[in-house]
């Protein structure tokens, strides 16, 4: 193995997936996620698969991008998580039929009322987050 051989493959990987630099935008992010999805089934079945290391490198890039562009709120109450999700998605209290009337949403956000299991499940599905974030 020599540098020239490795460099050629590295350049090809970088051009295809941007592996040599942080993910720059949503289009590159979507491309990397799609590639990981394609490869993951092969890699998951064989822990020693040579593409496993590539998936790990790409997963690190995805994690870095998400931390930078789509950070999770570092709040611990379901109400504050819900408020952050609403802000991120540009929603008003009246835009959450999963919870109920606007007055119910207001009580939840004020911490005066807890979300029930049905509401937590519906919100977790809507926002694609773990139920634990809202419970």
How confident is the model over 6-49, as pLDDT tens digits?
888 888 888 888 878 899 999 999 999 999 998 887 777 787 88
Q: Got the DSSP string for 76-111?
A: -SHHHHHHHHHHHHT--GGG-TTT-SHHHHHHHHTT
58 and 95 both lie in a single domain: no
Both 20 and 64 in one domain: the answer is yes
For residues 63 and 85, membership in a common domain is answered with: no
Say what the pLDDT of residue 115 is. 94
Q: Are residues 21 and 39 in the same domain?
A: yes
Domain boundary among 69, 95, 124: 69
pLDDT of residue 104: 93
Q: Which residues constitute the domain of residue 124?
A: 78-133
State how many domains the chain has: 2
75 confidence band (pLDDT: 50, 70, 90): low
CATH number at residue 107: 1.10.260.40
State how far the Cα of 16 lies from the Cα of 1, in Å rounded to an integer. 22
């Amino acid at each position: 193995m020599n540098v020239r051989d490795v460099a050629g493959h590295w350049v090809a990987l970088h051009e295809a997936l941007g592996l040599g630099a942080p993910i720059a935008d949503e289009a590159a992010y979507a491309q990397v996620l799609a590639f990981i999805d394609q490869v993951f089934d092969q890699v998951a079945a064989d822990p020693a698969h040579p593409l496993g290391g590539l998936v790990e490198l790409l997963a690190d890039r995805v994690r870095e991008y998400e931390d930078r562009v789509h950070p999770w709120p570092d709040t611990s109450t379901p109400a504050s998580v819900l408020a952050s999700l609403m802000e991120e998605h540009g929603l008003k209290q009246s835009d959450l039929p999963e919870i109920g009337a606007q007055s119910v949403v207001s009580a939840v956000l004020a911490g005066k009322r807890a979300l029930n299991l049905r509401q937590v499940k519906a919100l977790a599905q809507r926002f694609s987050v773990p139920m634990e974030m809202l419970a």
